[in-house]
């Protein structure tokens, strides 16, 4: 199974999902699934949020508050769930504001291990 297939399954199983991308902290995407006609530019969003995520990770390390697992960024337009995969990679799921946020978090948590298996 390919990573794009897993990302497609994630997006298609969550109501209101706009796309998903696996990305490194360097801002380089490994793979993505963005349905045709998605109203959000997930490529630009994910690169910008990679920068934010690096800073949050530094803060978590400095504070010694544990290992970062997940971050959510909510705006008046969308919700973005970022799930850390390992020290180098994370997966982003973008949702419409009224998308199924709880299921998105659940599906990302469940599918993270499949993505990691594909990468090895």
Give pLDDT, residue 41. Answer: 84
Please give the Cα distance from 27 to 24 (Å, whole number): 6
pLDDT of residue 32: 94
Q: Compare 7 and 51 and report the one with higher pLDDT.
A: 7
Q: Which of 70, 60, 57, 67 is nearest to 105 (CA)?
A: 70
Structural domain boundaries enclosing 70? 3-119
**pLDDT computed for residue 36 by the predictor:** 85
Residue 70, domain CATH: 3.30.450.30
What global pTM score does this model have? 0.92
- What rounded mean pLDDT belongs to the chain? 92
Question: What stretches of the chain adopt beta strand conformation (E)?
Answer: 17-24, 29-33, 70-74, 78-84, 89-96
CA distance 25 to 22: 10
Count other Cβ atoms within 10 Å, centred on residue 43: 14
Query: Which of residues 65 and 104 earns the better pLDDT score?
Result: 104
When divided into structural domains, the chain yields a total of 1
* Alpha carbon of residue 79 to chain centroid: 11
């Amino acid at each position: 199974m390919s990573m794009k297939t897993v990302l497609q399954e994630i997006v298609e199983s969550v109501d209101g999902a706009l796309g998903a991308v696996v990305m490194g902290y360097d801002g380089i995407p490994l793979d993505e699934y963005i349905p045709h006609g998605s109203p959000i530019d997930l490529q630009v969003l994910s690169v910008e949020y990679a920068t934010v995520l690096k800073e949050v990770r530094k803060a978590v390390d400095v504070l010694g508050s544990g290992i970062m697992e997940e971050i959510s960024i909510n705006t008046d337009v969308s919700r973005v769930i970022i799930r850390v995969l390992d020290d180098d990679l994370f997966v982003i799921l973008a949702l419409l504001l009224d998308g199924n946020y709880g299921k998105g978090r659940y599906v990302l948590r469940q599918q993270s291990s499949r993505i990691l298996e594909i990468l090895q």
